[in-house]
Copies of this chain bind each other. A is one copy, B any other.
Amino acid sequence: MALDRQELQARPVGVFDSGVGGLTVAREIMRQIPNEKIVYFGDTARVPYGSKSRDTVVRYSRQIVRFLQTKQVKAIVIACNTASAFALDVLEQETDLPLIGVIRPGARVAADTTRNGEIGVIGTEGTIGSGIYPDFIHRINKTIRVTGKACPLFTSLVEEGLLEDPVTDEIASRYLSELIDIGIDTLILGCTHYPLIRSTIGRIMGEGVTLVNPAYETAVELKRLLEKQDLLCPKPPALGENRYRFYVSDSADKFKRFANSIIKYGILTAKTVPIEEY
Of residues 135 through 176 on chain A, the ones whose CB sits less than 8 Å from some CB of chain B are 152-153, 156-157, 159-160, 166-167, 170-171
Expressed in whole angstroms, the minimum distance between the Cβ of A36 and any Cβ of chain B is 30
**Cβ–Cβ < 8 Å partners of A159 in chain B:** 51, 152
Whether the Cβ atoms of B56 and A250 lie closer than 8 Å is: yes
Q: Determine which of B153, B170, B254 lies in contact with A157 in the assembled complex, contact meaning CB atoms within 8 Å.
A: B153
A170→B51 CA distance, assembly (Å): 25
CB 8 Å contact bits of A17-53 with B (1 = contact, 0 = none): 0000000000000000000000000001110000111
Tell me, rounded to whole Å, the shortest Cβ–Cβ distance linking A177 to chain B: 15
Report Cα–Cα, A254/B126, bound state, in Å: 12
What 0/1 pattern do residues 48 to 85 of A give for CB contact below 8 A with B?
Answer: 00011101100000000000000000000000000000
User: Which residues from chain B contact A96 at a C-beta distance below 8 Å?
Assistant: none
CA distance A243 to B144 in the complex (A): 52
| Complex interface: chain B residues within 8 A of A276 (CB) | 276
**Of B153, B156, B160, B250, which is within 8 A of A52 by CB?**
B250
Q: Is A251 an interface residue when CB atoms closer than 8 A count as contact?
A: yes
Within 8 A of B (CB), among A157-201: 157, 159-160, 166-167, 170-171
Q: Do A251 and B156 contact each other (CB < 8 Å), given the known contacts A167-B167, A170-B166?
A: no
CA distance A167 to B157 in the complex (A): 12
CB nearest neighbor in B for A54: B251
With a cutoff of 8 Å between Cβ atoms, the chain B residues found around residue A157 in the complex are: 153
A251 touches B167 (CB 8 A): no
- Cα–Cα, bound, A251→B254 (Å): 29
Q: A45-B46, A152-B156 are in contact. Are A251 and B56 (CB under 8 A)?
A: yes
- CB-defined contacts of A254 to chain B, threshold 8 Å: 53
For the complex with contacts A46-B46, A52-B250, A153-B160, 11 further pairs of A-B residues with Cβ separation under 8 Å are A45-B46, A45-B56, A51-B159, A52-B251, A55-B251, A56-B250, A153-B156, A166-B170, A167-B167, A170-B170, A276-B276
Closest 10 CB pairs of A and B: A53-B251, A156-B156, A276-B276, A45-B56, A56-B250, A46-B46, A52-B250, A53-B250, A153-B160, A167-B170
Question: Could you write out 24 A-B pairs with CB less than 8 Å apart?
Answer: A45-B46, A45-B52, A45-B56, A46-B46, A51-B159, A52-B250, A53-B250, A53-B251, A53-B254, A55-B251, A56-B250, A56-B251, A152-B156, A152-B159, A152-B160, A153-B156, A153-B157, A153-B160, A156-B156, A166-B170, A167-B170, A167-B171, A170-B170, A276-B276
